[in-house]
Structure 1
Amino acid sequence: MIQAFRSLWPFGSGASGTAESGEPDPTLGQTRYQPVTEAEVAGLYQRPDSFTDLLPWTDYDPETRVFLLENGRSVGALFELTPASSEARSSAYLNVLREQIQSAIADTIPEVDGSPWVVQFFVQDDPAIADVGDRVRAYAAERAGDHPFARAYFSHLDAHLHRISRDGGLYVDEQVTGAAWRGQRRRVRACLYRRDAGGELAPEEELNQVAAQWVASLEAAGIGVRRCGARELYEWLVPWFNPRPEITGGDPEALLRIAPYPGDADLPFGRDLAELLTYSMPESDQRAGAWRFDGLPHTVVHAQGLRHAPRVGHFTAERRSGDNIYALFDRCPEGTVMAITITIQPQDAVHNHVAKIQAASGGDNIESQLAYREAREAMEQMARGNKLFPAQVAFYIRAENDRELVHHRNHLASKLVSQGLQVIAREAELLPLDNYLRGLPMAYDPTLERYTRRSRYVFADHLAAMLPLYGRTKGTGHPGMLFYNRGAEPLTFDPLHKQDRKKNAHALILGPTGAGKSAMLNYLIMQMAAVYKPRIFVIEAGNSMGLLGQYAQAHGLSVNQVTLNPNQDVSLPPFSAAIHLRDQPDVEARAEDEPDQDPEGDDDAEEARDVLGEMELSARIMITGGEAKEDARMSRSDRLAIRRAILRAAENVGAAGRDQVLTEDVVQGMREGAEDPSLTTTRAQRIRDMADGMELFCSGFAGKLFNRPGTRWPEADITIVDMAMLAREGYEDQLTVAYMGLMNHINDLVEQHQHANRPTLVITDEGHIITTNPLLAPFVVKITKMWRKLGAWFWVATQNLEDFPDAARKMLNMMEWWLCLVMPKEEVEQIARFRDLSEEQKALLLSARKEPGKYVEGVVLTDQIETLFRSVPPPIALALAMTEKDEKAERRAIMEELGCTEVEAAEEVARRMAEGGSP
């Protein structure tokens, strides 16, 4: 068979170069057949040196949550850390934070001889935020399930996140960072391990004990800590070692989707964790000093030492540089990973090492004197408790080609040198390939340090200042509301989530003219409607939410839009529920007693709603016209007369067989009360005067609104009420009474649905117009007091607080959530009228910036969260909030051009905005 095969092969022994001789023909390149040697066959079974054999991870135990390293005895742990917020923080705050971090490193990890503990920190920017949309969608599915509006909204959100993540970012942030604003997540990870641990405890038990102490210390400093497993290591390092996978067209995230981590159960025999991490053959290039993963060159740059003391948050905290504010790590080349490795060496050994240096520095030359002085200063610092640890700082960088890699290295070196770090020059890096591997997670072996000498002794306070534990806030992780920080990382929190609030989800949204309040409010309503599908009531002035209502209705939500003007058939009788007061046995006694009590009550009290007190406030506004001077004349006797008139009206209406008390019934009850023979002439006249004041609300437009029986409004997902004419000057009293009527109507619905698992949002826009009557604040406090138990939340959006009276303090203080958009110093002082602000909070508020057409910044203040956020809504939210004359004209032109509805025109505007065209 073999011979037959050779007869067909032109270079075999049976082939003939010429027909006559049967010998190979050299002119054709034919040679005599040579048999394959055994060595050549054996070579078929040989392989090049394995890259994965140089990696330390062999297995993972999900029960103990430890990684087994290559020697079979050493174990390590992996963590993901959430840095403490350093945005707009004072130096005093940062110094306290640095001291806490220093303690977590120096005081909680044991110092042991022989095989010391090693702690590593890694920070990098992950450009993949596409999964944020999936996270929000999953969060919403747990609350409202799948519904048409959510699908429509999430399609816009997904496209928006994709645009944010594109190369070059969504825009260039000229106002703050001076760089492209591109969606990303700054990931901070840490490894804690000890090689060849010995002692009474099993290695994994010892590791977990030390890890628990260390984690508790970090959390006490405000650092978030999450223990990670093999899945997290896999999802971290697979994109690192496979940056351009051929099987997915160069998309590392797609590689994770088609080849996810296989899990920790039912493992195949002999599985090596490290072998799972590469899907192509890594190559080493000694000449270039680089590893090539998927053909892309990777190398490491080591810092040789500190030229001066680092500032707190040296690499990752924001600080001003010229006209811009940014963190040093923001300016590192794309794809950079910074690694800081610290060896927790016993301090007696360090002391002996420094003492030897001091003893050897006895010469008379200047170098010896400087070495002696530095050694002495080091020993003094150690005596004060500032420990000295061997540490190394490395930067892993990559590029598209060798030329770009050199450019990245030079760019990085110049940045580091300017910030006080001396970098090892490329030509002085003798072992670049080896050093790349030694700095990987859990790969560094301090017992072999004497061969490489990469570590430098660094004081613990300097290490604490350099660690990537100072950063920008990312929120609570609950995406009820989705914003961003200055680094384009998603920042999420949720007032409706119980873990994010301490007291309630009532909110104040404050944004001066031009700050983008309307666009943000539109966005928040859309986000909450998609996530929770709550019952939403919007009370506004100017029909700024009308288009949003049409959009919601076009995408599956039921919407009821009401406008309060003479042409609309709307009735809001403020006393309609008085008929039910007859069923309360002690109502007459309370009518006598309660006028002497504080009308605002206690917002934490547990008593039932005070319906009679609420109606008294409505009557007082009718009588006084809402004027503070007139209300100041209102005596306790006057208030008692009002309450008696309301009860008398209820009795009269009940006796007449009607089911609603009207304003004219209360007027009649008051006139009947004035006829009491026991009253003095002056007192009787005062009651008649009050009745006359109320009677103004029984005729005309006011009578149409407040003196007709009310009908229940249709059930709707979103109800939008435009105060329209009542928001004009001269209608303040009617506006206030109408608002009270609306709140009463809403409260009735809230009480009806209190057992349903669906929240209610009551949103008042233009609060500086609607909610500034001094009598309205106590009414709001009264009526919303019990909403916390009923799942209803009161939000007020306003341009400023200047128009709010001091009486509004209690109403504003009951709101746990304050979202304050960029504002001048004067408005910050107005906030201080109603809320105690620390100097830190004032600085945070004043640090917010805006750049028209790109973003607006704000600050969220709650009992648990204080942070700067950046609002960059999807274009659809911006398009629906466009209410200026030229914007309406643009929509009209699109409607005529495309023959579409106004909602479809708004969606076309959003599409053009997304494409970068003029809306």
Structure 2
Amino acid sequence: MPYRWSTRAILLDKTDATKVLTKIRRQWFAKRKSIAAIVREVMTNDASVLVDNDAANKAADADLALQSLGADDVGQAYITATVTVWDGSASIAAEKLRLVEKIIQGRDFTCMAESLNAVEAWLGSLPGHVYANVRQPPVSTLNLAHMIPLSAVWAGPEQDGHFKAAPLFYGKTAGATPFRFSLHVGDVGHTLIAGPTGAGKSVLLALMALQFRRYMGAQIFAFDFGGSMRAAALGMGGDWHDLGGGLTDDHPSEEQGSSVSLQPLAGIDDPDERKWASEWLGQILAEEGITLTPDVKAYLWSALNSLASSPFHERTISGLVALLQSNALKQALAPYCLGGPYGRLLDADAERLGDANVVVFETEGLIGSGAASSVLSYLFHRIEGRLDGRPTLLVIDEGWLVLDDGNFSGQLREWLKTLRKKNASVIFATQSLSDIANSPIVPAVVESCPTRIFLPNERAIEPQIMAIYRDFGLNNRQIAIIARAASKREYYCQTQRGNR
């Protein structure tokens, strides 16, 4: 229910406060005895035994207030506290007012529903209006500190401080204060999303990708699993590539994602690109059981130098194999040539990858295959080449697949440490915090992801799982919130600035 609670304090200087308190003390002291009792005392010359103890106590309270004021322990102020509710329907507004009265009176406070004085009361609740609806008598500043609403629910930053633009999105909350979510804390936008499968992780990733397009010049690269971001990518006019063919094979009539082909050696006429190609091919050979001796590296480098002078369309892995002087190396690279199991992806004579601002790679059919490491390593390289300072979002869904591979986890660690300088943010999503806790890159994830989003997990209060949550800085109260949250509807955000 929306409401506005305002507290106005008109502070009194010491002289005025002393006058007011002295007057109040005198008035209460005079009420200790009635007029009849005073007349009787005068006539009988005998002090009255009966005294109004309530008036005497209040006179003593006023005296204590004067002592505190004189010692400069507290000050005095005219306090006006107002709670305003509203609605388009008078009956509903009256019902809201009744609920507010019930809550306030339930806390042993007295409240009054305004009628004839409603306009004055409303004016007194507005900043800058110091004459309307002034309530007396004065209240000490100590009581003011007890009653004034000095804290409120954290609503998130008003804008993304790094982009100097609006927050990424607004989230609905259980209360009346919406939550403004921004990726960046300072200039670091890396984010960790963790929660069990089916808790709403993929929907959140798609929403974040859609909302990230609000920033001028933004580009998005996502490694999806299960096609959950397919609709979002196509809806943004982006490219969706099914690297393993697992999803497009089920829908052969669809053109999107059916023509992925890569040409990793296309740019080796550039010395830096040729150096990268040498390292990339070395990783492939190592996975095929080839020991990278100096002779092997020399054969590889010589073939790359020769291939660099060939026409663009001939700079393929098949072209490289034809130039190699070692049969062992040719056999090791044969699966990556046309006719081999992975040649469809990596041995094209022209790269058909697209240059859209939104690119999503479906990895479900690729993960677990022998080409996964080489394909993803090349795509990482291509993405790094497109980081030119524009706002960039890198989404890695089902991150446990990345953590299981040493090369991928090393690449992720490097991204978390360096991509901040290129205005890029990494969103890393995984099904379980234990995947990260058992990974050698856990220090990099914990230190480099100032924003963490935890999905509902009813098992979070189990001792073993609770210990993992504690390692990520959550206390018992926060863990209980995660355990009670509604799946696919609620999320818990933890940042250095606040939690919600």
TM-score, normalised with respect to structure 2: 0.71
Measured in 2, the distance between the counterparts of 1:765 and 1:654 equals: 36
Q: After superposition, what is the alpha-carbon deviation per residue over 1:144-192, rounded to whole angstroms, capped at 9, x for unaligned?
A: xxxxxxxxxxxxxxxxxxxxxxxxxxxxxxxxxxxxxxxxxxxxxxxxx
Which residue does the alignment assign to 1:523? 207
Indicate yes or no: 2:427 matched with 1:795: yes
Indicate yes or no: 2:261 matched with 1:580: no
Which residue does the alignment assign to 2:8? 341
Which residue does the alignment assign to 2:440? 807
The 1:785–1:851 alpha-carbon spacing in structure 2 relative to 1, beyond 3 Å, is closer
Measured in 1, the distance between the counterparts of 2:96 and 2:267 equals: 73
Aligned pairs for 1:481-520 within 5 A: 481-495=169-183, 500-520=184-204
Indicate yes or no: 2:301 matched with 1:647: yes
Measured in 2, the distance between the counterparts of 1:409 and 1:654 equals: 79
Which residue does the alignment assign to 1:466? 148
Aligned pairs for 1:757-772 within 5 A: 759-772=391-404
Which residue does the alignment assign to 2:255? none
Which residue does the alignment assign to 2:44? none
Which residue does the alignment assign to 2:158? 476
Measured in 1, the distance between the counterparts of 2:52 and 2:487 equals: 62
The 1:411–1:817 alpha-carbon spacing in structure 2 relative to 1, beyond 3 Å, is closer
The 1:641–1:533 alpha-carbon spacing in structure 2 relative to 1, beyond 3 Å, is same
Pick one of 429, 432, 452 that aligns with 2:117: 432
The 1:515–1:772 alpha-carbon spacing in structure 2 relative to 1, beyond 3 Å, is same
Measured in 2, the distance between the counterparts of 1:470 and 1:548 equals: 35
RMSD after superposition: 4.7
Question: What is the deviation of 1:546?
Answer: 2.5
What code does the residue aligned with 1:808 have? I
Question: What is the deviation of 1:486?
Answer: 2.9
What code does the residue aligned with 1:662 have? I
Q: Give SS of 1:726's match.
A: coil
Q: After superposition, what is the alpha-carbon deviation per residue over 1:368-404, rounded to whole angstroms, capped at 9, x for unaligned?
A: 5633664465467654744332212234456789887
Instruction: Name the % identity.
Output: 15
Which residue does the alignment assign to 2:362? 722
The 1:811–1:660 alpha-carbon spacing in structure 2 relative to 1, beyond 3 Å, is farther
Q: After superposition, what is the alpha-carbon deviation per residue over 1:490-521, rounded to whole angstroms, capped at 9, x for unaligned?
A: 433444xxxx5423333333332232112222
Q: Give SS of 1:544's match.
A: coil
Question: What is the deviation of 1:722?
Answer: 1.5
Question: What is the deviation of 1:773?
Answer: 1.6
Which residue does the alignment assign to 1:738? 375
Pick one of 490, 495, 500 that aligns with 1:856: 490
Contact 2:155 2:180 in 1 (8 A): no
Q: After superposition, what is the alpha-carbon deviation per residue over 1:763-812, rounded to whole angstroms, capped at 9, x for unaligned?
A: 22222224432332322444676644544443323222322353333653
Pick one of 350, 353, 359 that aligns with 2:17: 350
Question: What is the deviation of 1:523?
Answer: 2.0
Measured in 1, the distance between the counterparts of 2:365 and 2:90 equals: 69
Which residue does the alignment assign to 2:36? none
Question: What is the deviation of 1:438?
Answer: 6.6
What code does the residue aligned with 2:14 have? Q
Q: Structure 2 unaligned segments of length 5 or more: list them.
A: 33-50, 160-165, 250-257
Specify which structure has the bigger relative contact order, considering alpha-carbon pairs within 8 angstroms and separated by 6 or more residues: 2
The 1:734–1:347 alpha-carbon spacing in structure 2 relative to 1, beyond 3 Å, is farther
The 1:436–1:708 alpha-carbon spacing in structure 2 relative to 1, beyond 3 Å, is closer
Pick one of 645, 649, 662 that aligns with 2:317: 662
Q: Give SS of 1:807's match.
A: coil
What code does the residue aligned with 1:491 have? F
Return the structure number with greater strand share. 1
Q: Give SS of 2:179's match.
A: strand
The size of the alignment, in residue pairs, is: 453
Which residue does the alignment assign to 1:457? 139
Q: Give SS of 1:775's match.
A: helix
Which residue does the alignment assign to 1:370? 57
Measured in 2, the distance between the counterparts of 1:640 and 1:374 equals: 93
Measured in 1, the distance between the counterparts of 2:439 and 2:90 equals: 67
What code does the residue aligned with 1:420 have? D
Contact 2:393 2:426 in 1 (8 A): yes
Indicate yes or no: 2:353 matched with 1:713: yes
Measured in 2, the distance between the counterparts of 1:759 and 1:439 equals: 46
Q: Give SS of 2:406's match.
A: coil
Indicate yes or no: 2:109 matched with 1:421: yes
Measured in 2, the distance between the counterparts of 1:569 and 1:438 equals: 67
Question: What is the deviation of 1:473?
Answer: 0.8
The 1:400–1:516 alpha-carbon spacing in structure 2 relative to 1, beyond 3 Å, is closer
The 1:506–1:410 alpha-carbon spacing in structure 2 relative to 1, beyond 3 Å, is closer
Measured in 2, the distance between the counterparts of 1:405 and 1:785 equals: 54
Q: Give SS of 2:410's match.
A: helix
Which residue does the alignment assign to 2:43? none
Indicate yes or no: 2:454 matched with 1:820: yes
The 1:515–1:783 alpha-carbon spacing in structure 2 relative to 1, beyond 3 Å, is closer
Question: What is the deviation of 1:651?
Answer: 2.9
Measured in 2, the distance between the counterparts of 1:670 and 1:777 equals: 34
What code does the residue aligned with 2:100 have? L
What code does the residue aligned with 1:806 have? S
Q: Structure 1 unaligned segments of length 5 or more: list them.
A: 1-329, 588-610, 673-687, 869-919
Question: What is the deviation of 1:343?
Answer: 1.0
The 1:703–1:544 alpha-carbon spacing in structure 2 relative to 1, beyond 3 Å, is same
What code does the residue aligned with 1:547 have? A
What code does the residue aligned with 2:171 have? F
